[in-house]
Amino acid sequence: MIKKVTLLLVLVFLAGCKSNKKAVSNSKKPGSYVSKSEAKPAEVVAADENLYVLPEDSGKFIDFPINSVQEYINTFSEIAQFEMKAYGIPASITLAQGILESGYGRSALVKKTNNHFGIKCHTGWEGDYDYHDDDEKGECFRKYNHPMYSFRDHSIFLTSRARYSFLFDLDNDDYRGWAHGLKQAGYATDRKYPSKLISFIEQYDLHTYDKLVHNEGYVSKKEPKNYDYKTHVVQKGDTLYSISRKYFVSVEELMKINKMNSSSLAIGQQLVVKSVKK
C-alpha cells in the first residue's frame, strides 16, 4: 500500500516539474497534473482542466492490486480531488463511481484495462482498447496504462457530453443531486445506481473530500457551457434511444428540446439535437 501511494506522489511530483512544458496531446493520455502549489485560486479562475496535467504516459501497463474499499479510497482520493478542482465533478462522486464500477479496483475489466469507470470505446475513441463481456458479449472498452488516465477520461467524458450538462448547475458538493442526476442522464441502467453511490459516500465519508476542495477556495459550480444545435432527420430504424446515444444526450432531454409528448417517430421527422461546443 505504501509503495502504491508513494508511486502516485512521485508521479504528481514529476508532473509539477514538467508544468512549464506544453502538454503533449495524445489520445492515450487525456491530460496532465501540475503541482498543487502552482494551481490558481478560485477567485482568479474557475475550474480549469489545464491546472492539473498528467505525467507523460510511460507506455507501460501498471496494475494496482487493491485489497479493500478503504485501500482504494486511500490510493485514489487525491486524484479525485485534483479532478474536482479541474472539472468541477465532486470527488465523492468520482470515488463512489470508481468503487462501484470497478469493484474497488478488483474487477476483471480493471485488471486488463485500468478502466475504473466502465467507459466503452464509443465513436471517436482513438486510444487503446480491449474487449470485455458486459451488456453484450465482446464489447469494446477503453484501456489505459495507469488508472490516473482513467480518472481524467472520466472527467472529460462527463464534461464533454450535453446530456450531463445539467449536473454542472448543481453545487459540486451536492453528491445526492449528482448521484440521481447521473442515473437520469443515462450513465447507468441500474435503478438503484443513485442509492448505491450515496451509500458508499456516506459509509466511507467520501463527502469530506469535497469539503477539503472547497476549503482550498475552489468554486462550487462550473461556468456555463456553449452548445451547438443541429438537426437530425429520422431514418428507418431510428429510435429516441439510438439518437440519444449518437448525440450523447438523454432521451428526456431530446423530448424536452423538441416538445414531444410521445416517443413515437416518423421517417423524415426533423429533431433538434445539441452538443457541447469544442
Dump strand ranges (E) for the chain: 129-132, 139-142, 227-233, 270-276
Instruction: Confirm whether 33 is domain-assigned.
Output: yes
Are 203 and 234 found together in one domain?
no
d(C-alpha 105, C-alpha 144), whole Å: 14
Give the number of other Cβ atoms within 10 Å of residue 151's Cβ.
Answer: 25
pLDDT (0 to 100) of residue 50 = 64
CATH of the domain at 199: 1.10.530.10
- In DSSP terms, 273 is beta-bridged to 230
Q: At 223, list the grid cell.
A: 461556468
Are 97 and 144 found together in one domain?
yes
Amino acid, single-letter form, for residue 105: G
Give the number of other Cβ atoms within 10 Å of residue 145's Cβ.
Answer: 19
Q: Which domain holds residue 235?
A: 227-276
pLDDT (0 to 100) of residue 247 = 76
The pLDDT tens digits for 54-67 are 888 889 999 888 99
The pLDDT tens digits for 187-201 are 988 999 999 999 999
User: Exposure pattern of 6-23 as b/e (b: 16+ CB <10 Å)?
Assistant: eebeebbeebbebbeeeb
Q: Given pLDDT bands bounded at 50, 70 and 90, which one contains residue 227? A: low
CATH of the domain at 244: 3.10.350.10
- For 191, counting Cβ atoms within 10 Å of its Cβ (0-12 exposed, 13-18 middle, 19+ buried), the class is exposed
Given a contact cutoff of 8 angstroms between Cβ atoms, the answer to whether 91 and 178 are in contact is no
Length of the chain: 278
pTM of the model: 0.67
Mean pLDDT of 68-84: 96
Instruction: Confirm whether 119 is domain-assigned.
Output: yes
Mean pLDDT of 251-256: 79
Q: Which domain-ending residue is among 215, 237, 254?
A: 215
Instruction: Confirm whether 221 is domain-assigned.
Output: no
